[in-house]
């Protein structure tokens, strides 16, 4: 695989976006690729937007994805999806959660949360898959495992051994939470239909 | 690096900061110091995992530098890490250390912040290398970050000079693959050998040292020309790009087939290599973020290059900038409608002890001289309670300036506000100055028991060291009284009636006063919180006046119901701090229990 693959992950602080991107990067390194990962997150630890780039291939130069070149978008929050469209290729894979987290301007009534984002996106991006990671994670036993459930769905888009993913997850997730997270991963993987 | 990764693993994905720490460890560093500051903080937080390295959070960058310098001149390898503006604080001993040289190895990490992701300016600290006549290396990825720390120690010892390692936010916080090595058995000799002509900078001795510094830079310049990591890569010669750091990868991403001169040593420059490169390519671009640091020096060699006439001086670069400016193509735009999207700015957490203070200061209409920390977020709408933010510790002197201009007219009009660690970092001399010069300002110390903004580090007020060992913690009351402040009051900011009374009283006083607003950060790791009931809004009593919205608490939402818009408290976020209950004029916000009963 000569071409570099670009994955962009977006969401809001506290959703586990960064951890998810760390795990993907680890998986790809273990699969033998050169990997770079970079992120932008707001000043405060809570509530700000988070945006993480993972790039892998034979040789990766820039740690950030060039606008117009992200092959896959993993979006943890619907509004944040719209903020990163500049980065996408013409025909990207978009994995989207149903989660909406209103920013302060919306909660305080000075702005409106855009309506029906998945339908708007599907018109332009046919390779869009809605993954209900919240309910998968809650069925798996902990809503916080939503990021790992999402990785389960993402893993179906790569022909890598499942164990490679599970090993990387066990490296990053605390032992006490591992069982729930691995369950969330498997359930996420099962529900995804690339 | 993940905690579970061990030394036997040969390859790891490391951030630039983790790689710098790893490089220092592998190089046998003995003493590592610093003050937390984005994007440098994780360097010491990674190094502390190695038991055999002494690490400390120093009170400020100047002290951090001096501790590392003391260790280095006594024969050990030492590293000091700080953000770019931290070097301003450490500049005094830094410039002196350039003259004395050092016996062990001394590496200063300056973590610059192009784009100002978390800083008050985007100064280009490459200028410090030239200014202080100290060599500087700049890695372009994590592997080089690790390698260059080791190299920097070697150069430091070989040339008897402190050495800069420059990183940027992008490099510090990006991860890439690094080959790990075992730590070196670095032989070092502890020494207290006296060399006054070298280490005592009396004018007569300094005059001996200065020519040696100039001669050292000449020798370093020769080294730069033979240094193999100043890499010349001649491909398509229709143009060549001179660049360094992460910018190299941006340019290489867009122009993989053209010629490059990658400067891993950014000061002094390899004059011969630059001349050779310019002769071998038809056109030279200098692709550097921020200042035309290379460009001006290269032009001074009489070489014609294209640089800041097409590339921006402000902000962070990207692969797109290289392509757009060199090819002259229009800005790459997808189908963004991001301009119309509701923004998602950072905000203080639910339950933040700063929120009631800012609400009160705004209510009292005070001019608030602010400082550096999470509380800077108090400047944002709708709180808008901070009127100045300059640099670490500046609030107190700023307020004193106002007072000396306005005289007694200033009473009750202005106040200085400063975080606990910022106060200890550089606020103490300003309080002493106020007492000495008969000032009458009021200083509010926001004591949340941690350095919250950079990720909750310890400091001399918390009673714990960077390693987590117990130590003495500052008694702010005792400290301020011993500085000569007679009026020192400690308040709980969540008692807003008391807080307002105290602020009114102290700001109208014609003598210096300090208010210590004491309540731990809601994210504090060590504080065990007693459970408090969450708040709920009574839909019947809420008139929709919007007063609680002025708190910009993430837990308070505005919802439309049959009677119009009403406040609503999100249970998933409410910390039960009670501030909204206290500001509600209708008594519509109460604890959940009260509503049920």
Which of B176, B338, B342 is the closest to A36 by Cβ? Answer: B176
Phi, psi angles (nearest 5°) of residue A80: -65, -25
> What's the mean pLDDT when you consider all of chain B?
94
pLDDT attached to residue B328: 86
B218 pLDDT more than 80 = yes
- Given a contact cutoff of 8 angstroms between Cβ atoms, the answer to whether B140 and B244 are in contact is yes
Determine the Cα angle at B476 with ends B579 and B499, to 5°.
25
Q: What is the DSSP string of chain A?
A: --SPEEEEEEEETTSSHHHHHHHHHHHHHHTT-EEEEEEEE-SSSSSSEEEEEEEEES----SSPPTT-EEEEEESSHHHHHHTGGGEEEEEEEEE-S-----HHHHTTSS-PPS-HHHHHHHH-SSEEE--HHHHHHHHT-GGGHHHHHHHHHHTTS---HHHHHHHHHHHS-HHHHHHHHHHHHHHHHH---
Q: B246 to chain A: which residues are within 8 Å by CB? A: 62-63
Q: If we measure between CA atoms, which residue out of B402, B432, B435, B437 comes closest to residue B416?
A: B402
Sign of torsion, CA B561 B563 B569 B571?
Answer: negative
Kindly report the nearest CA distance between residue A67 and chain B, in angstroms: 7
- Given a contact cutoff of 8 angstroms between Cβ atoms, the answer to whether A96 and A122 are in contact is no
B340 pLDDT more than 50 = yes
B149 pLDDT more than 90 = yes
pLDDT attached to residue B2: 47
Query: In terms of domains, do B247 and B395 share one?
Result: no
Cα→Cα distances A181→A152, A159, B209, Å? 10, 21, 62
Residues of B (342-371) whose Cβ lies below 8 Å from A:
342-349
A24 pLDDT more than 80 = yes
CATH number of the domain bearing residue A63: 3.40.920.10
What whole-number distance in Å separates Cα of residue B241 and Cα of residue B305? 10
| Helix A146-155 / helix A133-140 crossing angle, nearest 10 deg | 110
User: Given an 8 Å threshold on Cβ–Cβ distance, is A48 in contact with B11?
Assistant: no
Give me the residue label for tokens 């660049």.
B243
Query: In terms of domains, do B146 and B201 share one?
Result: yes
Chain A contact for B337, CB < 8 A? yes
B81, part of any domain: yes
B257, part of any domain: yes
Q: How far is CA B293 from the centre of its chain?
A: 22
Q: A80 to chain B: which residues are within 8 Å by CB? A: 344
Chain A contact for B549, CB < 8 A? yes
A137 pLDDT more than 90 = yes
B322, part of any domain: yes
- Expressed as residue numbers, the domain containing A71 is 5-99+116-191
A18, part of any domain: yes
Give the residues across from B367 on adjacent strands.
B414
Q: Which of B37, B247, B252, B344 to mutate to test the interface with A (most CBs of A within 10 A)?
A: B344
Residues of B (446-505) whose Cβ lies below 8 Å from A:
453, 455
* Max CA pair span of chain B: 86
The average pLDDT across A153-182 equals: 97
Rg of the Cα trace of chain A?
Answer: 16
Q: Which of B14, B144, B175, B537 to mutate to test the interface with A (most CBs of A within 10 A)?
A: B175
**Tally of CB atoms within 10 A around B488:** 20
Quick check: helix, strand or coil at residue B448? coil
User: Given an 8 Å threshold on Cβ–Cβ distance, is A44 in contact with B374?
Assistant: yes
Q: If we measure between CA atoms, which residue out of B478, B393, B399 comes closest to residue B429?
A: B393
Q: Does residue B345 or residue B43 have the better pLDDT?
A: B43
Query: In terms of domains, do B272 and B384 share one?
Result: no
What whole-number distance in Å separates Cα of residue B297 and Cα of residue B288? 13
User: Given an 8 Å threshold on Cβ–Cβ distance, is B552 in contact with A104?
Assistant: yes
Q: How many CB pairs under 8 A join A and B?
A: 160
Number of structural domains in chain B:
4
CATH number of the domain bearing residue B571: 3.30.70.20
Residue A39 pLDDT level (bands cut at 50, 70, 90): confident
DSSP H helices in B134-265:
142-159, 169-173, 196-199, 203-226, 245-254
- Expressed as residue numbers, the domain containing B488 is 355-518
Which two tokens mark B588?
């519509």
B1, part of any domain: no
Query: In terms of domains, do B144 and B200 share one?
Result: yes
A124, part of any domain: yes
Per the document, the length of chain A is 194
CATH number of the domain bearing residue B176: 3.40.50.970
Kindly report the nearest CA distance between residue B184 and chain A, in angstroms: 26
Can the peptide bond before residue A139 be classed as cis, meaning omega within 30 degrees of 0? no
B7 pLDDT more than 50 = no
What whole-number distance in Å separates Cα of residue A151 and Cα of residue A189? 8
The average pLDDT across B363-391 equals: 93
User: Given an 8 Å threshold on Cβ–Cβ distance, is B336 in contact with A172?
Assistant: no
Chain A contact for B241, CB < 8 A? no
Query: Which of B179-188, B437-446, B470-479 is least confident?
Result: B179-188
Query: Which of A1-5, B83-87, B193-197, B255-259 is least confident?
Result: A1-5
State the Cα torsion B468-B23-B136-B262 to the nearest 10°: -140
Burial of residue A187 (number of CB atoms within 10 Å: 0-12, 13-18, 19+): buried
Per-residue pLDDT reduced to its tens digit, B568-590? 999 888 999 999 999 999 999 99
pLDDT attached to residue B483: 98
- Given a contact cutoff of 8 angstroms between Cβ atoms, the answer to whether B45 and B73 are in contact is no
- Given a contact cutoff of 8 angstroms between Cβ atoms, the answer to whether B347 and A104 are in contact is yes
Residue B4 pLDDT level (bands cut at 50, 70, 90): very low
pLDDT attached to residue B597: 41
pLDDT attached to residue B8: 52
Q: A22 to chain B: which residues are within 8 Å by CB? A: 2, 13, 175
Query: Which of A131-135, B21-25, B379-383 is least confident?
Result: B379-383
The average pLDDT across A5-22 equals: 94
- Given a contact cutoff of 8 angstroms between Cβ atoms, the answer to whether B322 and B254 are in contact is yes
B383 pLDDT more than 50 = yes
Phi, psi angles (nearest 5°) of residue B502: -65, -45
**Among residues B226, B261, B295, which one ends one of the domains?**
B226
What whole-number distance in Å separates Cα of residue B46 and Cα of residue B38? 14
The average pLDDT across B453-460 equals: 93
A111, part of any domain: no
Query: In terms of domains, do B554 and B430 share one?
Result: no
Kindly report the nearest CA distance between residue A52 and chain B, in angstroms: 10
- Given a contact cutoff of 8 angstroms between Cβ atoms, the answer to whether B317 and B311 are in contact is yes
Q: Does residue B381 or residue A1 have the better pLDDT?
A: B381
B594 pLDDT more than 70 = no
CATH number of the domain bearing residue B249: 3.40.50.920
pLDDT attached to residue A42: 55
A107, part of any domain: no
Chain A contact for B4, CB < 8 A? yes
pLDDT attached to residue B189: 82
Q: B344 to chain A: which residues are within 8 Å by CB? A: 12, 42, 47-49, 79-80, 103-104
What whole-number distance in Å separates Cα of residue A69 and Cα of residue A85? 10
A47, part of any domain: yes
Q: What percent of chain A has pLDDT over 90?
A: 79
**Among residues B226, B258, B279, which one ends one of the domains?**
B226
A106, part of any domain: no
- Continuous segment of H or E residues that includes residue B490: strand B487-491
Q: How far is CA B71 from the centre of its chain?
A: 24
B447, part of any domain: yes
Quick check: helix, strand or coil at residue B541? coil
Residue B337 pLDDT level (bands cut at 50, 70, 90): low
Chain B contact for A60, CB < 8 A? yes
Per-residue pLDDT reduced to its tens digit, B153-191? 999 999 999 999 999 999 999 999 999 999 987 767 899
**Tally of CB atoms within 10 A around B371:** 28
Q: B554 to chain A: which residues are within 8 Å by CB? A: 46-47, 104, 107
Q: What is the DSSP string of B263-277?
A: -SEEES--HHHHHHH
| Helix B394-406 / helix B428-436 crossing angle, nearest 10 deg | 20
A105, part of any domain: no
- Continuous segment of H or E residues that includes residue B462: none
**Among residues B208, B226, B244, which one ends one of the domains?**
B226
User: Given an 8 Å threshold on Cβ–Cβ distance, is A104 in contact with B347?
Assistant: yes
Query: In terms of domains, do B203 and B83 share one?
Result: yes
Query: In terms of domains, do B173 and B59 share one?
Result: yes
Q: B173 to chain A: which residues are within 8 Å by CB? A: 38-39
B473 pLDDT more than 50 = yes
Query: In terms of domains, do B196 and B218 share one?
Result: yes
Residues of A (3-42) whose Cβ lies below 8 Å from B:
12, 22, 25-26, 29, 34-40, 42
Per-residue pLDDT reduced to its tens digit, B81-109? 999 999 999 999 999 999 999 999 999 99
The average pLDDT across B436-457 equals: 95
Q: What percent of chain B has pLDDT over 90?
A: 85
A44 pLDDT more than 80 = no
Per-residue pLDDT reduced to its tens digit, B309-333? 999 999 999 999 999 999 987 765 5
A92, part of any domain: yes
Long-range contacts of A108-114 (CB under 8 A, 24+ apart): A108/B382, A108/B549, A108/B552, A108/B556, A108/B557, A108/B558, A109/B549, A109/B558, A109/B565, A111/B342, A112/B342, A113/A79, A113/B342, A114/A78, A114/A79, A114/A82, A114/B341
State the Cα torsion B134-B137-B138-B141 to the nearest 10°: -150
User: Given an 8 Å threshold on Cβ–Cβ distance, is B342 in contact with A83?
Assistant: no
pLDDT attached to residue B3: 44
Query: In terms of domains, do B82 and B20 share one?
Result: yes
Phi, psi angles (nearest 5°) of residue A51: -145, 110
B174, part of any domain: yes
Per-residue pLDDT reduced to its tens digit, B284-315? 999 999 999 999 999 999 999 999 999 999 99
Residue B412 pLDDT level (bands cut at 50, 70, 90): confident
What whole-number distance in Å separates Cα of residue B486 and Cα of residue B529? 33
Residue B109 carries which DSSP code? E
B361, part of any domain: yes
- Given a contact cutoff of 8 angstroms between Cβ atoms, the answer to whether B434 and B441 are in contact is yes
Per-residue pLDDT reduced to its tens digit, B133-144? 999 999 999 999
B121, part of any domain: yes
B50 pLDDT more than 80 = yes
Give the residues across from B445 on adjacent strands.
B418, B516
Burial of residue B329 (number of CB atoms within 10 Å: 0-12, 13-18, 19+): exposed
Phi, psi angles (nearest 5°) of residue A68: 85, 5
Query: In terms of domains, do B200 and B241 share one?
Result: no
Query: In terms of domains, do B317 and B460 share one?
Result: no
Number of structural domains in chain A:
1
Can the peptide bond before residue B397 be classed as cis, meaning omega within 30 degrees of 0? no
Query: In terms of domains, do B397 and B502 share one?
Result: yes
User: Given an 8 Å threshold on Cβ–Cβ distance, is A45 in contact with B335?
Assistant: no
The average pLDDT across B502-522 equals: 96
Chain A contact for B252, CB < 8 A? yes
pLDDT attached to residue A52: 96
């Amino acid at each position: 695989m000569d071409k570099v693959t670009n994955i962009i992950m977006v969401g809001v602080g506290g959703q586990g976006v960064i951890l998810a991107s760390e795990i993907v990067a680890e998986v790809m390194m273990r699969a033998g690729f050169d990997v770079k990962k970079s992120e932008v997150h707001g000043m405060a630890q809570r509530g700000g937007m988070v945006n993480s780039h993972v790039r892998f291939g034979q040789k990766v130069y820039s740690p950030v994805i060039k606008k117009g070149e992200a092959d896959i978008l993993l979006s943890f929050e619907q509004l944040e999806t719209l903020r990163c469209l500049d980065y996408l290729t013409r025909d990207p894979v978009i994995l989207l959660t149903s989660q909406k987290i209103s920013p302060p301007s919306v909660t305080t009534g000075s702005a409106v949360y855009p309506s029906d984002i998945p339908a708007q996106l599907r018109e332009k991006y046919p390779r869009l898959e809605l993954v209900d990671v919240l309910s998968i994670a809650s069925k798996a036993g902990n809503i916080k495992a939503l990021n790992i459930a999402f990785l389960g769905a993402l893993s179906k888009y790569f022909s890598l051994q499942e164990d490679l993913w599970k090993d990387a997850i066990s490296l990053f997730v605390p032992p006490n939470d591992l069982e729930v997270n691995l369950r969330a991963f498997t359930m996420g993987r099962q529900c995804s239909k690339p | 690096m993940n905690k579970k990764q061990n030394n036997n693993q040969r390859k790891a994905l490391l951030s630039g900061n983790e790689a710098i720490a790893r490089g220092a460890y592998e190089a046998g560093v003995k003493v590592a110091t610093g003050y937390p500051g984005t994007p440098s903080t994780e360097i010491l937080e990674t190094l502390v995992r190695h038991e055999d390295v002494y690490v400390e959070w120093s009170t400020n960058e100047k002290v951090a530098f001096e501790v590392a310098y003391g260790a280095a001149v006594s024969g050990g390898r030492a590293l000091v890490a700080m953000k770019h503006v931290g070097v301003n604080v450490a500049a005094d001993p830094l410039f002196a250390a350039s003259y004395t040289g050092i016996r062990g190895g001394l590496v200063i990490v300056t973590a610059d912040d192009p784009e100002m992701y978390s800083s008050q300016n985007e100064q280009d600290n490459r200028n410090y290398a030239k200014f202080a006549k100290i060599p500087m290396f700049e890695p372009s990825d994590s592997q080089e970050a690790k390698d260059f720390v080791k190299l920097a120690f070697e150069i430091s010892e070989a040339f008897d000079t402190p050495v800069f390692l420059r990183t940027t936010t992008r490099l510090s916080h990006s991860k890439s693959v690094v080959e790990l090595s075992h730590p070196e058995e670095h032989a070092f000799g502890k020494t207290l050998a006296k060399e006054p002509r070298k280490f005592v900078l009396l004018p007569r001795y300094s005059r001996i040292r200065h020519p040696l510094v100039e001669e050292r830079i000449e020798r370093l310049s020769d080294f730069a020309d033979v240094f193999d990591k100043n890499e010349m890569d001649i491909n398509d010669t229709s143009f060549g790009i001179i660049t360094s750091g992460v910018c190299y990868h941006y340019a290489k991403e867009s122009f993989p087939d053209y010629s490059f001169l990658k400067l891993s040593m950014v000061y002094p420059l390899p004059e011969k290599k630059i001349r050779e490169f310019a002769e071998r390519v038809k056109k030279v671009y200098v692709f550097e973020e921020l200042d035309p640091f290379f460009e001006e020096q290269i032009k001074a060699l009489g070489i014609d290059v294209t640089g800041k006439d097409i590339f921006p001086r402000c902000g962070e670069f990207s692969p797109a900038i290289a392509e757009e400016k060199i090819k002259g193509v229009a800005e790459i735009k997808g189908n963004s409608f991001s301009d119309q999207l509701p923004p998602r700015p950072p905000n203080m957490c639910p339950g933040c002890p700063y929120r009631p203070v800012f609400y009160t200061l705004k209510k009292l209409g005070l001019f608030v001289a602010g400082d550096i920390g999470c509380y800077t977020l108090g400047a944002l709408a709708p709180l808008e309670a901070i009127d100045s933010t300059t640099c670490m510790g500046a609030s107190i002197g700023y307020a004193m300036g106002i007072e000396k201009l306005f005289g007694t007219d200033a009473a009750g009009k202005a106040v200085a506000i400063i975080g606990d660690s910022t106060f200890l970092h550089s606020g103490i001399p300003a309080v002493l100055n106020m007492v000495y010069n008969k000032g009458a300002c009021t200083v509010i110390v926001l004591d949340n028991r941690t350095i919250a903004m950079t990720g909750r580090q310890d400091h001399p007020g918390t009673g714990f060291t960077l390693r987590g060992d117990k130590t003495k913690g500052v008694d702010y009351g005792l400290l301020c009284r011993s500085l000569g402040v007679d009026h020192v009051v400690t308040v709980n900011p969540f008692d807003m009636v008391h807080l307002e009374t105290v602020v009114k009283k102290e700001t109208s006083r014609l003598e210096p006063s300090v208010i210590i607003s004491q309540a731990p950060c809601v994210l504090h790791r060590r504080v065990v919180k007693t459970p408090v009931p969450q708040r709920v809004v009574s839909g019947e009593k809420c008139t929709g006046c919007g007063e609680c919205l002025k708190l910009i608490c993430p837990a308070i939402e505005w919802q439309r119901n049959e009677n119009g818009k009403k406040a609503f408290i999100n249970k998933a976020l409410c910390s039960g701090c009670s501030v909204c209950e206290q500001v509600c004029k209708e008594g519509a916000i109460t604890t959940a229990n009260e509503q049920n009963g």
